[in-house]
Amino acid sequence: MGTWDIGPFDNDTAADFSYTVDEAGAGKKADVLRAAFREVTGTGDDYLDADLSVEAVAAAALVAAQCPGGEPVTTSYGPKEPLGVLPVELRAEAVAALDRVLAEPSELLELWEESDGEEWKAGIRRLRAVLAGTGA
């Protein structure tokens, strides 16, 4: 995975995921995000692949952008097409996915703990707080 910073879209996998979101029909974008969350939460206690985690984090950032206190996704690596208003129910699924990304066994967590782990985890926790409605 090519990664250049700690943001949700600062890697090749997330940029590719943005393209997948853009390619989904207007009424199907929420389904793409939901699928990313469910891929992660569906792993249970099994080892969680980094690529699945990266997609879920990117999807969570897109949902959080529509929450009070959420930051807009302005990076050129994010989706180019409008998402429309996303279902509020996606927020809880995003929170669950982020919780799983931060729980062992998680390849993405392991990779970040080898470098800027604390800064990256703080960013994920801020994203989770916005999604949970507990502030940033």
**Model's pTM, two decimal places?**
0.95
Task: Please name the residue that has the structure tokens 């604390």.
Answer: 118
Residue 135 pLDDT > 70: no
Backbone CA torsion sign across 13, 80, 33, 72: positive
Give the residues across from 3 on adjacent strands.
11
Convert the pLDDT of each residue in 68-121 to its tens digit: 999 999 999 999 999 999 999 999 999 999 999 999 999 999 999 998 789 999
Residue 41 pLDDT > 80: yes
Q: Give, in order, the Cα–Cα distances in Å from 116 to each of 7, 24, 34, 109, 129.
A: 12, 33, 28, 10, 20
Residue 1 pLDDT > 70: no
